[in-house]
Chain A
Amino acid sequence: MSVYEYIVRTKDLSRVYTMGDTQVRALDNVALDIRRGEYVSIMGPSGSGKSTLFNMIGGLDKPTKGTVFIDEVDMAQLTASELAFLRCRKIGYIFQTFNLIPVMTALENVTLPMVFAGLTTDTAMDKGLGLLKTVGLGDRYDHKPTELSGGQQQRVAVARALANDPAIVLADEPTGNLDLRTGKEIITLLKQMNEEKKVTIISATHDLKMIDVSDRVVWIRDGKIERIEERKDIDIQVGQMEGEEQ
């Protein structure tokens, strides 16, 4: 197995939420290795812990126990500013609810991470326009999120996630608030970015359309990894499923 270079590794990862008197174990000793450049889908029903796993890998929340390594660096050892640097330059985030800054235009949303990264305004503008063109919104750069459809907002979010050429794009239910066709477009876009830019894509989802493009699918249930399927094992399943749909 050591032929692969792992960009994300988790070890004994656990997260316990305390709600009143009860303790909810959202993640239970999860060990997951993600290879550089692959497209991984983390599948599971809602409440299975996939969003919690997403938050841990993205450094958005701290684990109760265990460690997350990004490029073999223990995330718990990073200072606040190193963590901010990591979020800014190494990881791009995509959310179910798009989470664009409402007061900013599409272009301003895309350039914000570049401003944080220290790019000059001109460079950021050029790059931002280029990214918006890549996601098919070249003429919509001046629109506020409220003036864009859900699919268009998610495209802006994809462009924003790619702003600083991250090594990893983390997507939490990216198609959850989109209709079938728009969802499919976003999946295709993510796959295209994965192939062209060699970005590792980690997507928490329960959208079965995602299986189609994934290199590996991690099935998670009750905070534990149930099974991990490789691309070659999935193909047959997808064929069956598409047959069933029609």
Chain B
Amino acid sequence: MSDSQGAGSVLGEPDRAGIQKQIVLPWSRALQMTRENIFVRLGRSAITASGIFLGIAFLSAVLFGAAAANVKARLDLTQLGLEHEQSELQARIVWLAAMSLLVATVGIVNSMLMSVTERYKEIGTMKCLGALDSFIVRLFILEAGVLGILGSVAGAFVGAGIMMLAYIGRIGRGGVLESWTAPALQLGGTDIRLWLAILLATVVGGMLSIAAALYPAWQAAKMPPAAALRSEF
């Protein structure tokens, strides 16, 4: 039948029309594969996403609490105590937020490590089919990014939502709404308003998730296919 593979060297064969010389993975197909991976392994995906969800929910609750406290102080027509008390509160908030993010990151690194390890064989197979190392890394980053952003957005809403309910009795509906534009934390001397702080938290959640996937994915991608295929999971 076809004798296009008849003569010529491995890489020097004249290609049929419409076929590119290099190996490609279109974004549309990569996204489709990411979607399938997330849905087929819904349990693991949920665990991965919930790690970041909890971290960001806690962070956004802490941020909301800080903003609401500022609003409450204004409504009570009192100043929020002395200068050093205020900076002590600020320090505690930063500490709480940092811890919550750290816990979230450890959790997501762990679940990403698991999700890459259990797919060694699949990674090896993909490489046999011609996938470049970068395809493997790209697929895991996409997956981690999607899960991280979904988890972060949900976490931000839930965290802030619970705090809104908790504060509605103390500062009223107007106070709760006002909290969104009240300063929630200080970064480098400037006040960050609550809505922006929560938006930033969401972005940070997505980034942390991707960062957590990067190392295990890169490790798996650079394995020789034979070694990846040998692993039994």
Q: Which residues of A contact B (CB under 8 A)?
A: 55, 58, 60-62, 70-73, 78, 80-82, 84-90, 93, 95, 99-104, 112-113, 115-121, 123, 160, 164-167, 196-198
Contact = CB atoms under 8 A, between A and B. Distances in A.
26 contacts: A61-B226, A71-B9, A72-B9, A73-B9, A73-B10, A78-B11, A81-B22, A84-B130, A86-B10, A86-B11, A87-B127, A87-B130, A90-B10, A99-B229, A101-B125, A102-B40, A103-B37, A104-B33, A115-B29, A118-B19, A118-B20, A118-B23, A165-B5, A197-B2, A198-B3, A198-B6
Given A60-B225, A118-B19, A118-B20, A85 B130 contact: yes
Given A118-B20, A197-B2, 9 more contacts: A61-B225, A62-B224, A81-B23, A85-B23, A90-B5, A93-B128, A93-B129, A113-B130, A196-B1
A60 B229 contact: yes
* Interface majority SS (helix, strand, loop, mixed), chain B: loop
Q: Ordered nearest first, which 9 A-B pairs have the shortest CB separation?
A: A88-B130, A118-B20, A61-B226, A167-B5, A60-B226, A55-B226, A60-B225, A103-B40, A116-B130
A112 B129 contact: yes
Interface string B13-56: 00000111111111001000100110011000000000000000
B8 interface: yes
B23 A84 contact: yes
Interface residues of B, number: 43
* Interface majority SS (helix, strand, loop, mixed), chain A: loop
Interface of B: 1-6, 8-11, 18-26, 29, 33, 36-37, 40-41, 121-122, 124-133, 135, 224-227, 229
